[in-house]
Amino acid sequence: MSKVIAELVIRGSQDIFKQASDFLDKAIKEKGPAQKIGFPETAFYLPAANALLGAKVETLKDVLPILEHAKSLLPDIPSEKVWLPYLGDALNAGMSTLFCEEIIVALRYLYGQEPQKDCNGFFTDNILRSLGIQLVDGRMSGFAAILGAAPDNKTAVEIIRQLQERNILIFVGSQSEGRSIIDQLLEENIQMGWDNYIVPYGRDTISAVYALNWAIRAALTFGGVKPGEAQKCLMYMKERVLAFALALGKVDEIKCATAAAAINMGFPVIADTDIPEIKASGITTYEALVKELNYKNIVPRCIEVRGIKVKVSSVPIPVAYAAAFEGERVRREQLYVEFGGKASAAFEYLTTLESNAVEDGKFELIGPDIDQLEKGKRSMPLAIIAEVAGRKMQKDFEPILERQIHRFVNYAMGIMHVGQRDMNWIRISNDTFNKGFRLKHLGVILHAMLHQEYSAIVDKVQVKLYTRQEDVDKMVATAQKAYGERDERLSGMNDESVDTFYSCLLCQSFAPNHVCIVTPERLGLCGAYSWLDAKASYEITPTGPNQPIIKGGITDDRLGQWKNINEFIYNKSNKTVEKVSMYSLMDAPQSSCGCFECIAAVIPEANGVMIVHRDHSGMTPSGMTFTTLAGSVGGGVQTPGFLGIGKLYIVSRKFISAEGGLKRVVWMPKELKDILADKLKKRAEELGESGLIDKIADETIATTAEELVSFLAKVNHPALTMEPLI
């Protein structure tokens, strides 16, 4: 390592240490040592200090030992004589910087200085959980943290677009000579936010620590790494969190120190300036610090240095196409034309035909195209009918393929797709229309993507679009009949009627010991994999993450345990989980990876169970918020009394049936009740408890166990007279 860099790193880390130390002194003087400190919505206190030192910082006083530790890591500036080209000193300085920067931003929160204008600030635990599935299924291939500014706005946009096209989540911020990439993107009207894979953290380098202390939580959330297991945590990040930093513009001391923190975590740094490089060091997988002066090559160079595997979909349409554009909105001001929603009649339907009735790649538009839109109009009716054929195609797979239309259409830049079936809503932006996008490109997208992702079951695809009202009205009846038949068939399917369950091991890339077992009556805890999805996925990739398991003999009817399932789990959990009850919360419940939609938890005082979903940020009667509860469930570990679940499992006949099922539920957020309203009502009626839903408290009724118990007594909730849970 060059002495110049080492010196910059060490000077920077000393500077940051001083800033942290002065700021803490000031805070203690002004607010007292007992003053509480922390970030919003996290179960991990100051996450870097928690993960690496096992510290639970709650007050200003608790910060002191962290700062002491940071100080002990600070090396001296290397002298001319004793300079040795090792990384050690700079790495220690980087570690010190990580702790100090975290302290500084936490203190800024205390003083109301964060988040900065137009910026996200601290990234919550929840965001990490909700991105879980995208991370494991390849829709998000890695993370970039950009520090500084590009030489001009055009280059900034170019770099961002290239990263988006590779499905890389981009954190943007810091500055270079007074200019931040955040402002470059704002000036160019680039949509930012999690849905667009571009998240501004702050306009100074210190706030880049948000990206680092977020990455660290992946190890705690998914990896089963315990606070304080520093080595394990650092290994986890190097191996599983595919992140890198891109420094644009002049690299000053503070940037150098922050870069050293990133390198410590296994994240390489790429710069666009002429800096001395650090080749493979063992700390990162490949080179630790490299330069790339040509902006055309900079993104490919980043990908290569971090060893990210990018899945690019090549779909020949006039606009960019990638998962990163999935969440992008088309606002009214940008709108060229829309279909469905409140604007017009629309639906989408995928069906199977005999092979000779499908001509692969054929596209028909029956009615006017969008360039023939009547003057003054902004909407058109639209029927999308995809007809497929394939030797291995099954009727059961139709809804699964049809559901992908949402994702496939959304990947196109400047197109928004919401909903499904006859409740879909599609918007095309002015920009996209002006670039030459026409309706035939919807056909191109569906044809290309169905082949790309489902070639194992689909041999041929043809697409028909209808844009005349009378056609849409006529065709929708056929589609609606099929929707109804599908629903009926699904509701008739249960755990007893099949001889095979499916595993899901997708989350093992983040939670190495976690196994989901997916049954007809219990979907994966992420909510994204039903039994049919898993079955289709197995047909598509027989060696993939979804494997069939022949149930074999049942060993415990009440708990839902099968010999074959237990054996499978034992082997696939790296021998950490011996048995799993599919129907119990208390006795050998399923493990959780971290990306669960809801958590079910015992409330001992109520002899019942509460359920909270990810979007509910308020307090629950367990005395914990979703975030805090989630902090103690996950990492592929079984936690009796706590269970990560998919929303739809709540209304299943098999929902914790060992403990009495839905009748045990004493509390749910109002929003969750509303989402499941019809299904909950139906399920309650099946149980002969038609008034049950009104007896389940929500946050408007109770947020403490005390309030909850008194409400339950008043409404005579069935849980009160059920067998004791504990």
Q: Could you tell me the two tokens for 533?
A: 């999805």
Q: How near is the Cβ of 547 to ligand SF4 at its closest, in Å?
A: 12
Per-residue x/- track, 80-119, ligand SF4 (CB under 6 A): ----------------------------------------
Phi, psi of 207 (to 5 degrees): -70, -10
- Decide if 678 contacts 709 (C-beta within 8 A): no
Is residue 595 within the footprint of ligand SF4 (CB under 6 A)?
yes
- Candidates 135, 506, 612, 666: give the one binding ligand SF4 (CB under 6 A): 506
Q: What are the two backbone dihedrals, phi and then psi, of residue 117, each rounded to the nearest 5 degrees?
A: -55, 135
**Cβ neighbours of residue 260 under 8 Å, at least 6 residues apart?**
9, 13, 90, 91, 93, 94, 97
Judged by phi (left if over 0) then psi (alpha if -120 to 50, else beta), residue 716 lies in left
Question: Count residues contacting ligand SF4 (CB under 6 A)?
Answer: 13
DSSP string, 534-551: HHHHHHH-TTSS--EEE-
CB of 115: closest distance to Zn ion in angstroms?
A: 28
Going by C-alpha positions, the residue among 518, 554, 491 that lies closest to residue 686 is 491
Q: Which is nearer to Zn ion, 319 or 507 (CB)?
A: 507
Which residues are registered as beta bridge partners of 515?
Answer: none
Which DSSP state fits 457?
Answer: T
Which of 73, 593, 629, 633 binds Zn ion (CB under 5 A)? It is 593
524 is a contact residue toward ligand SF4 (CB under 6 A): yes
Q: Does 1 bind Zn ion (CB under 5 A)?
A: no
Place of tokens 């494997």: 547
**Quick check: 637 binds Zn ion (CB under 5 A)?**
no
Is residue 595 a contact point for Zn ion (CB under 5 A)?
yes
Question: Which one of ligand SF4, Zn ion, none is in contact with 529 (Cβ closer than 5 to 8 A by kind)?
Answer: ligand SF4
**C-beta closer to ligand SF4: residue 104 or 528:** 528
Name the DSSP class of 55. Answer: -
For residue 507, state whether it binds ligand SF4 (rule: CB under 6 A): yes
- Asked whether the bond before 78 is cis by omega within 30 degrees of 0, the reply is no
Per-residue contact flags (x/-) with Zn ion for residues 125 to 154, judged by CB under 5 A: -------x----------------------
Q: Per rule CB under 5 A, is residue 515 in the interface with Zn ion? A: no
Count H helices and E strands in the chain, helices first.
Answer: 23, 22
Asked if residue 160 lies in contact with residue 320, where contact means CB atoms within 8 angstroms, the answer is no
Which residue type sits at 399? P
Q: Does 598 bind ligand SF4 (CB under 6 A)?
A: no
Do the beta carbons of residue 39 and residue 58 sit within 8 Å? no
Q: How far is the CB of 327 from ligand SF4 (least distance, A)?
A: 19
Query: Residues 53, 507, 534, 598: which binds Zn ion (CB under 5 A)?
Result: 507
Which pair of tokens denotes residue 260?
Answer: 């050293």
- Piece of the chain touching ligand SF4 by CB under 6 A; list 303-311, 525-533, 662-670, 689-697: 525-533
Q: Is 514 helix (H, G, I), strand (E, B) or coil?
A: coil
Closest CA to 557 of 579, 578, 581: 581
Whose Cβ is closer to ligand SF4: residue 266's or residue 646's?
Answer: 646
Question: Within 114-143, which residues bind ligand SF4 (CB under 6 A)?
Answer: 133, 136
State which residue, 196 or 537, has the beta carbon closest to ligand SF4. Answer: 537
Among 593, 601, 684, 719, indicate the residue that binds ligand SF4 (CB under 6 A). 593
Q: How many CB atoms lie within 10 A of CB 193?
A: 13
Please give the structure tokens belonging to residue 403.
Answer: 């559901």
Q: Rule CB under 5 A: is residue 528 a binding residue for Zn ion?
A: no
Q: Which is nearer to ligand SF4, 277 or 615 (CB)?
A: 615
User: Coil, strand or helix: which one is 428?
Assistant: strand
Residue closer to Zn ion (CB basis): 115 or 132: 132
649 binding ligand SF4? (CB under 6 A): no
Binding region for Zn ion (CB under 5 A): 132, 507, 593, 595
Binding region for ligand SF4 (CB under 6 A): 133, 136, 504, 506-507, 516, 524-526, 528-529, 593, 595
